[in-house]
Each structure stands twice: as structure tokens, then as C-alpha cells.
Amino acid sequence: MNSELTINEYGTKYWKLPNGYFHREDGPAIENKEGYRAWYINGLKYTEQEHRHEIRSRKLKKLL
């Protein structure tokens, strides 16, 4: 799925799907200048480690 990057007036970066859900497969879906980062896939929030595991699992399923 392709998400679109939006940057607000404070420099916070958001990656969202057309349906409005936060989503990013190659990094955090929310990042701000103060260092806050949040990982989402299809609107579901993950820790960084959970996100990494979920992406690896999805890639493996595609290969099988």
C-alpha cells in the first residue's frame, strides 16, 4: 500500500493512506522535530520492534 507524506506547519511528518489511516512500512508513520516517532500499519499502532517483526512476517508470506 502506498502512503502519502504530509508535513505540518511545525515540521511533523505524517504518512497516511487515502482512507486517513497512518501507515508506513519502511519506518515510523509519525516523526517530529523533538524526536517523537510512532509506527503504524493500516492504522494500527506498533512499537518499533513489533513493527519490524510485522513487516518481516509480511515479506516472508509474500515469498511463500
Domain residue limits at 21: 4-63
Count of beta carbons in the 10 Å neighbourhood of residue 2: 8
Domain count, the chain: 1
Nearest C-alpha neighbor of 28 from the set 19, 11, 10, 16: 16
pLDDT at 30: 98
Report which DSSP code applies to 8.
Answer: -
The mean per-residue pLDDT over the stretch 33-49 comes to: 98
Please indicate, yes or no, whether the overall pTM of this predicted structure exceeds 0.85.
yes
pLDDT at 1: 75
